[in-house]
Amino acid sequence: MSNVIEVDNLSTRFETEDGVVKAVDGVSFRVRSGETVCIVGESGCGKSVTAMSLLGLVEGTSGLVTGDRVAFGDRDLLRVSPSELRTIRGHEIAMIFQEPMTSLNPVLTIGEQLMEPLREHLRMSRKAARARAIELIGRVGIPRAEQIFASYPHELSGGMLQRIMIAMAVSCGPQLLIADEPTTALDVTIQAQILDMLRELKDETGMSILLITHDLGVVAEMADYVIVMYSGKIVEEGEVSELFERPRHPYTQGLLRSKPVLGQRAEELYSIPGQVPDPLELTPSCYFHDRCAHCMDICTRREPELKTLAGGQKVACWLYEPAEVETHG
């Protein structure tokens, strides 16, 4: 199975008044054709910044994106021209952002915003783009498509707006869809509908999905492969079944323990002690050490490398001796 995108040693830093923030630090991963890869972790772990860095959406601010390469086909997204990146963005790679209400222009109708990528990337006439936009509205399960086409964002519910964002994202037939917390702030029924829709669209079009979430229920339902991030780094990754059955990193184990299980009662829901460290105060160490029940002296002094276990799962943790694993290269 071929890779749609290959990310090697991606880093994103932000210059602030208090110092340099390492939001993403040396991240490498692949997304294969037709695969759904989930990036999971607490807020502030670098998930969304990773996605935006791939598309050049932090450049021009205080952000600086570096890396060995981000290979998309025969192009390196870190080195293409701004105009070529604009051509790729929204056409070959599309993104669904966290908040649909803030992602849509409040003074333009839904139809105008759906037609824009069709006219820009596919060079459709206004008439053809209008027909395609109405078709897309119906395709994502919204009735009265022509009426919705003429509506403004404030006239639609959160669930409908998220469906519109999905319609816009898939309108040009992208190879890769990046979905950043697509079910945030939606009730559970609408969440299930949105996830079902993403699966159906993936099966219909063959596109790959990079799904960013902190919801392990979403991960279990959607993912083929899982990447766990903490403080800007990948601490564990592997096939979804392997990772859920045998989580290796204490952080992954804590995330799974924090998830309520239907039918099981507990006096108190487990939560990982402490919080994600301040990115301005990171030192050479395992960044999770002050929250970890298995912390050893070496964890406070040296940063563990991402290592590959015999079964293919990867973990960055000093609990696993080099003799037991093959170092990730």
Do 108 and 128 reside in the same domain of the chain?
Answer: yes
Element (H, E) at 116: helix 110-121
d(CA 214, CA 217) in angstroms, rounded, equals 9
Domain boundary among 173, 196, 222: 173
Which of 35, 34, 26 lies closest to 240 in space, CA to CA? 35
Do 281 and 156 reside in the same domain of the chain?
Answer: no
- pLDDT at residue 4, as a whole number: 96
Total residue count of the chain as it appears in this document: 329
Domain boundary among 146, 173, 200: 173
Q: Give me the mean pLDDT over the 30-53 stretch.
A: 94
- Residue 123 structural domain: 93-173
Residue 17 sits in a domain of what CATH number? 3.40.50.300
Of the chain, the percentage scoring pLDDT greater than 90 comes to 72
- pLDDT at residue 3, as a whole number: 94
User: Are the C-beta atoms of residues 129 and 137 closer than 8 Å to each other?
Assistant: no
Do 107 and 212 reside in the same domain of the chain?
Answer: no
Do 166 and 215 reside in the same domain of the chain?
Answer: no
Domain boundary among 124, 153, 173: 173
pLDDT class of 310 with cuts at 50, 70, 90: confident
Rg (CA), the chain: 21
Do 249 and 126 reside in the same domain of the chain?
Answer: no
Q: Give me the mean pLDDT over the 275-291 stretch.
A: 93
Mean pLDDT rounded to a whole number for the chain: 90
Do 33 and 179 reside in the same domain of the chain?
Answer: yes
Do 206 and 279 reside in the same domain of the chain?
Answer: yes
Element (H, E) at 23: strand 19-32
User: Are the C-beta atoms of residues 21 and 14 closer than 8 Å to each other?
Assistant: yes
User: Are the C-beta atoms of residues 123 and 131 closer than 8 Å to each other?
Assistant: no
Taking each continuous run of H as one helix and of E as one strand, the counts in the chain are 11, 14
Do 181 and 299 reside in the same domain of the chain?
Answer: yes
pLDDT digits (tens, 9 = 90+) for 199-231: 998 998 999 999 999 888 889 999 999 999 999
Q: Residue 168's CB: how many other CB atoms inside 10 A? A: 26
pLDDT class of 12 with cuts at 50, 70, 90: very high
Q: Cα dist. 275→54, 255, 278, 289 in Å? A: 27, 13, 9, 11
Do 251 and 320 reside in the same domain of the chain?
Answer: yes
User: Are the C-beta atoms of residues 113 and 105 closer than 8 Å to each other?
Assistant: yes
Element (H, E) at 148: helix 145-149
Query: Hey, CA dihedral for 218, 221, 224, 225, is it positive or negative?
Result: positive
Do 205 and 264 reside in the same domain of the chain?
Answer: yes
d(CA 69, CA 6) in angstroms, rounded, equals 8
Q: Residue 303's CB: how many other CB atoms inside 10 A? A: 15
Element (H, E) at 204: helix 188-205
User: Are the C-beta atoms of residues 94 and 169 closer than 8 Å to each other?
Assistant: yes
Do 122 and 79 reside in the same domain of the chain?
Answer: no
pLDDT class of 60 with cuts at 50, 70, 90: low
Do 264 and 183 reside in the same domain of the chain?
Answer: yes
- pLDDT at residue 258, as a whole number: 85
Comparing 88-92, 135-139, 193-197, 265-269, which segment has the lowest mean pLDDT?
265-269
Q: Cα dist. 235→28, 176, 253 in Å? A: 11, 24, 12
Domain count, the chain: 2
- pLDDT at residue 269, as a whole number: 79
